[in-house]
Structure 1
Amino acid sequence: MRAKACTTCRQWKARCDAAPGVSGGCSRCRSLKQPCVFDASFKRTSKNKCLQQMSTEIQQLRQALLDSTKNTSPSTSSPVSATPSNSNQVPPMDDESPFSTGWQSGLSGLTASGVTPDHVDLQNSATGLQQPTPLSARASPQEILQLQPPLQSATLSDTSSNPIISAADDALSPPTWQRPSWQRPLFVAGDQQPGLTQPSPMNRRLSTASTPYRILGDVGLTRGQVDEQFRTYFAYYHQYLPFKMDSTSPEDIYSKCPLLFWVIIAVASTRKTRARLAPMIKTMVGETMYSRVRFVEAVQAILILCVWPFTTSSLNEDPSHLYSGVAAQMSHQLGLHCHTQNHTHLALSHEQLARTAEVKLTTWMAAFLMNQMQANFLGVPPSVTVDYNLLSNFSHPSIDPTLSKMCRIFHLLTQSALDISGYTPTPSTPLDPNSRLEMVITYGAEFSTLQVQHLDPMNDTLKITFLFARVQLWSFALAEDIPLSQKQIDVVKQAERDACDLIELCYSLNLSISPTYIRRAMCYCAFVLAKILRAQQATQCEVLEDNIEKVRQALMTTSDSRGDIMHKACELLQDIPYFEDKRLSPPITSRMGQSVLYDLMRIGAENTVLGLQMDTRARTQDLSFDLDGFDWNMMGM
């Protein structure tokens, strides 16, 4: 009885289209260029048996390769060269090789496609698949090894002429395969020391990725962490102090100024990492201050620390004002205030002489801004004087609009504070109360003119800065010696509105990445509202109390611990509207626009630690405290 299908189609479990009486056989046999045989006694070989036969042959070939390599390897173990070679070479069948981990699935795919045990050595050709060679007709493993060149590379080139590579290997790898760079080097048999196991490819890849790229003290960062921190800084932080830089590459910045590199890392890191980096960075700042060679990048690093200082427990510990003065003096020494000139007499390096005028100018403007800002936060005169050249640079096209507008705001605020205080910030100002109130109203009109001519439109950062400057101006009208009048009431109402608007703006921001000056502005406005509540001049007491509570809730989320200065401010805000002014010391009026804040801190200190100590000492002696004799450290903040 004649079979209905040829042996090839029966082995592949495929439909045979051979027609009786037609020469050449079925289309499948014609494409394979083999005779189409019909055998009724043919029995199909199972897939499991095919796999077993091919597995046995592969194991024999692998063992023969290892034995041959062991006999020809030198006495001293060395990694096998990974240089590509034109000779037909085979990657070793070790545990990391893709041939050892995926060969079973590849063979399954072959048998599922109809490849028989006797038809596993198929080769690609231009016309199709060539005549298969039965396994029984192949050379033995020993004969094959005699034809094979020594193993010298981990690169697999063209396998079409290599008698070792079977169809199963061809299915498991592309014609050209090269070991990935993260895999361990190949070692011949006998290289591995007894008791040591080679790492897997995944472990090697993880260990390479976790290798520290930059280390400072006990903090080590991988290359991926460094890139991510720099991306975060320039995406979310740099906009608050947008000076221009020669390069934003971590490698370039680290090579020029490691201090700037680690400051950027600290600002963009978590609180825990920032606290670990703080001691080392402070040491680097001290070394920079005493260094003979100065760089623009060092000035930029110190300016960033003014905007994002490390956690402190009191105002006296905050070095931001000191840093702003250092940055301004270093800028003068580098000639940044004359950005079009190169001061060769300072023996600057060639790299410094090649600084662009834009980098110099924007860095100098940032130094001026930080000096004005930090001076106003402490209520002291700034150390940088203003000249015509500086004022004309406010309109320079290379300066970021945010930076230019903030410089204008703080310049006007500083000018108003000095004029109202009579340029002598002492407890007794030369201006009488009525003159001070008139000056406040006059400068209020100046701020309105500035807004129309130079500030509009404003983003949220500029709005907060502008409102903070005006609230600080209005605070001069909250002094106790200002007589009650309609003008004074109008100024207090304006201060109330501006403070509430600023708190509402800040409350909608992510304060965890906002600069410190935004949090301090928010805190200052809360103290101004507390001052208005204490003076019983508020028209809506409940609204002011709600805004103070908003400030407390927002600032508590940014506090690291109970010893943090922001945490102390929140605790003081909770009780300061209701504390009694014991007047154990005279009111503080020497801090210009910040006198409101410092006087409320005095009241809080007198009602807590300082009050208990003074009450005990007052029983034995009559105490009179003036400003010079006041212990500022006892105020707790």
Structure 2
Amino acid sequence: MSTQERKRLRLVVPNNVKGKVLKTCIRCRQHKTRCDAWDTRPYGCTHCMKKNVACTLDIITKMPNRSNDVMNRLVAEVKSMKSCVNRLVEHKAQMVEGLMANGLLKGGVASAGASNGVSKPTPSIATLERCLESPLSTPGPLTPESPRGDGAYVLDSDAGRQPVSLTHEEVLECFRVYEAHFNKFLPIFPDHFFETVSVGALYARNSVLFWSIILTAYLNSSNAARYLMLAAHMKALVVQKCWFNTPRSVYTLSALLILTTWPLPANKGETMSENLSVKYLSLMNNLALQLGLHRTEFINEFSHKTEVDVSTEISLNNLIRERIYKFISINSSYWLVYSGLSHFSLHGLQQDYIINKANQELLKKKIETKEDKYINSLLKISLIQVKSNETLNYISTNKSHTYSNQSSEKAMSMYMFEKILNNFNKPSSPLLNNNLIKISIEFSKLQLYVYAFGKSDISLSDYRVYVQKALKTCYSLVNLCSQEFGSVHNFNSLPIHYKFVIELATMVMLRIHSSPLLSSVQEYKVLKQNFQVLYGLIVKNTDGDWSILNKKTLKIVDKYNQVFRENPKLILSDSGSFFLIHKMGKYQLTSLSYDLIWSIYVSVNGRNHENIDMRSSINWSRFGLNPDMPKDREVIDYLSRDCSIFSNF
């Protein structure tokens, strides 16, 4: 044995330890170097020999975590159980269909026996099982809305309602109606989509989009019965396809866009948090991000196992996906602002690649098609609406500012946004120059003036300026809407981008009519004439069933007008000030309708209605009126008598 081997330290192997003894020493593991201790035993490793240090094998006392393996096994078991449950449900559905086909359910056996006067016994289990025999080894998929053998398309998602059946010719007609009357408001599909689409193929690929198009087309019908029946089934179908299973298709996003542009009827007593359109918006935003629509150039990174192709052309695919993503932003902005919910969402403050690209294309006038310029113009206006809404809401709710500071900041912000919107109406504006975009611009301006109706540190003369601006905007909207929608058969066939406009302008004129803020009776006359034109669009060509879709608006207008006609003192003296919105100011754009509802509620439940002399019971000077002045006396006399907004002078 050499002298070097005699001096070499021996390998230390731990004994009687809890854990696992490794084949590498402690020093090599710490320095992350290759250890040959197992090969050089019973001596230490080469590295320890060079350093002349003791070589001790390392040990592991903590066992590796196998929780991930357990989780994966549990996930696999859950998926297997779900698959079994689905097969059981599908098999049960086939059993029921088999029983119905053989007349053993829904009076098939009982009615036959009753007709002969003889009560037949219940069939045996073997008889029942024979009628359920299927040539398939496994149950087929459950498709309750699939076309039947006679070529009809049947939708029966809601088990509590009668199924709706359409022939192939009726389906084709619905698609033609949608293309002619509705596609221009939501141009997300390529021009040749409706020319080349096969309704059968679209039905097989995505039934939600198929039935959404048909449902919307029935808004152009004079009879609401078929639409309301389809709408009930549509709600159940969306739950089946989008809630029970996560949709992974751009076509599903298109369907949800249609259902938020022409919203489904609201349920009785439905609150804003329960509104289906608001829920659909949340789902669409999440799905758009999951599918990668905001990153068109890198969509393959997001879209594994998804259907994101609409066309065989890559450039056209990107264009359609961009259009869908833009309209998701547009519809979200319109719904959240009009519902008074935009301050709960940061959607309007989020800028991404698609939105920034749209703004740049609009400013640099690089847009080739009219449809894309319309979409980008509407997107720009919707972002201005959200920004103004959130800015003014922040000013009014910021408790660190004094009352006077809030008023001055509010006035400056309103002037800034008003200036921006006025520039959009100039000939040099990059926005599309047509009536639809002009209506959207005027709608945005009207929103600003509604924000000014709330309480603030402002003089009566300045407040009247905002009232006059609001009326001027309403009259402009009346002219634009009459030109653009005069031939519309049904108010409910308008998309939310213009339906909300008419509803808000109607509420504004109704509220101003019940206030002494106009300087002459002639102004009230002009207001009533314009109101009746706009209100006529809401009730135009609608039977009793169609009015269900506008029930809230119609009820507010009718009851508020009745309250002011029967007891004007309640409206004129309730606030103690000249502000048009004084009770519900914190609800942003919806504050106006909430204030009208408050007056109706007080009239029905809270006040003693007495016939009081209006001249002596109201402080008219608060509104800048002097009963001794002839012109002011005319206004006082007009407001003191039965002055329905529907009556003629």
The C-alpha deviation readout for 1:238-283, integer Å capped at 9, x for no partner, is: 1111113594312332222100000000000232221111122111
CA distance in 1, matches of 2:601, 2:396: 26
Task: Name the structure 2 match of 1:603.
Answer: 599
The C-alpha deviation readout for 1:289-321, integer Å capped at 9, x for no partner, is: 342341111111111111111223566264222
Higher alpha-carbon deviation: 598-607 or 365-374: 598-607
- 1:241 counterpart SS class: coil
Change (3 A) 1:606 1:517: farther
CA distance in 2, matches of 1:402, 1:600: 35
* Corresponding residue to 2:499 among 506, 519, 525: 519
CA distance in 2, matches of 1:444, 1:336: 33
The C-alpha deviation readout for 1:23-42, integer Å capped at 9, x for no partner, is: xxxxxxxxxxxxxxxxxxxx
CA distance in 1, matches of 2:373, 2:264: 28
Higher alpha-carbon deviation: 403-412 or 442-451: 442-451
| Aligned pairs (5 A) from 1:22-61 | none
Q: CA deviation at 1:232?
A: 0.9
| Aligned pairs (5 A) from 1:226-305 | 226-244=171-189, 247-248=193-194, 249=197, 250-269=199-218, 270=221, 271-287=224-240, 288-305=242-259
CA distance in 2, matches of 1:407, 1:314: 32
Contact 2:264 2:276 in 1 (8 A): no
Match status 1:393 vs 2:358: yes
Match status 1:225 vs 2:209: no
* Corresponding residue to 1:319 among 267, 276, 279: 276
- 1:590 counterpart SS class: helix
Aligned residue type for 1:543: V
Match status 1:374 vs 2:335: yes
Aligned residue type for 1:286: V
CA distance in 2, matches of 1:497, 1:559: 32
Change (3 A) 1:563 1:237: closer
Q: CA deviation at 1:374?
A: 0.3
Q: CA deviation at 1:607?
A: 2.0
Contact 2:396 2:406 in 1 (8 A): no
Match status 1:466 vs 2:420: no
Task: Name the structure 1 match of 2:382.
Answer: 410
Higher alpha-carbon deviation: 578-587 or 264-273: 578-587
Change (3 A) 1:516 1:346: closer
Aligned residue type for 1:530: L
CA distance in 2, matches of 1:463, 1:232: 26
* Corresponding residue to 1:548 among 531, 535, 543: 531
- 1:240 counterpart SS class: coil
Q: CA deviation at 1:604?
A: 2.1
Aligned residue type for 2:261: V
Task: Name the structure 1 match of 2:155.
Answer: 216
Higher helix proportion: 2
Task: Name the structure 2 match of 1:433.
Answer: 407
Q: CA RMSD in A?
A: 3.2
CA distance in 2, matches of 1:490, 1:420: 19
* Corresponding residue to 2:263 among 309, 328, 334: 309
Q: CA deviation at 1:517?
A: 3.8
Contact 2:209 2:252 in 1 (8 A): yes
The C-alpha deviation readout for 1:87-111, integer Å capped at 9, x for no partner, is: xxxxxxxxxxxxxxxxxxxxxxxxx
CA distance in 2, matches of 1:255, 1:567: 36
Change (3 A) 1:351 1:588: closer
CA distance in 1, matches of 2:230, 2:295: 34
* Corresponding residue to 1:342 among 299, 305, 317: 299
Q: CA deviation at 1:511?
A: 5.5
Higher alpha-carbon deviation: 372-381 or 514-523: 514-523
Change (3 A) 1:423 1:265: farther
Change (3 A) 1:481 1:253: same
CA distance in 1, matches of 2:306, 2:601: 52
- 1:340 counterpart SS class: helix
Q: CA deviation at 1:457?
A: 4.5
Q: CA deviation at 1:427?
A: 10
Q: Which consecutive unaligned segments of at least 5 residues does structure 2 have?
A: 1-148, 157-162, 362-366, 609-649
- 2:297 counterpart SS class: coil
- 1:215 counterpart SS class: strand
- 2:183 counterpart SS class: helix
* Corresponding residue to 1:481 among 456, 463, 480: 456
Task: Name the structure 2 match of 1:570.
Answer: 554
Contact 1:369 1:406 in 2 (8 A): yes
Change (3 A) 1:533 1:426: farther
* Corresponding residue to 2:285 among 299, 320, 328: 328
CA distance in 2, matches of 1:511, 1:444: 34
CA distance in 2, matches of 1:243, 1:275: 25
CA distance in 1, matches of 2:239, 2:399: 34
Task: Name the structure 1 match of 2:129.
Answer: none
TM-score using structure 1 length: 0.58
Contact 2:293 2:299 in 1 (8 A): no
Aligned residue type for 2:237: M
Q: CA deviation at 1:547?
A: 2.3
Aligned residue type for 2:174: Q
Match status 1:360 vs 2:360: no
The C-alpha deviation readout for 1:167-187, integer Å capped at 9, x for no partner, is: xxxxxxxxxxxxxxxxxxxxx
The C-alpha deviation readout for 1:512-565, integer Å capped at 9, x for no partner, is: 132244232112111112232334222411111222233333212346449725
Change (3 A) 1:433 1:535: farther
Q: CA deviation at 1:437?
A: 2.2
- 1:587 counterpart SS class: coil
Aligned residue type for 1:446: I
Q: CA deviation at 1:409?
A: 0.7
Contact 1:247 1:253 in 2 (8 A): no
Identity of aligned residues (%): 17
How many correspondences in the alignment?
404
Higher alpha-carbon deviation: 330-339 or 532-541: 532-541
Task: Name the structure 2 match of 1:444.
Answer: 418
CA distance in 1, matches of 2:216, 2:300: 32
Aligned residue type for 1:415: K
Change (3 A) 1:456 1:383: closer
Match status 1:589 vs 2:528: no
Contact 1:559 1:567 in 2 (8 A): no
Q: CA deviation at 1:367?
A: 0.3
Q: Which consecutive unaligned segments of at least 5 residues does structure 1 have?
A: 1-209, 614-637
Contact 2:175 2:214 in 1 (8 A): yes
CA distance in 2, matches of 1:583, 1:494: 22
Contact 2:291 2:306 in 1 (8 A): no
CA distance in 1, matches of 2:243, 2:346: 17
Aligned residue type for 1:460: N
CA distance in 1, matches of 2:478, 2:445: 14
Higher alpha-carbon deviation: 558-567 or 314-323: 558-567
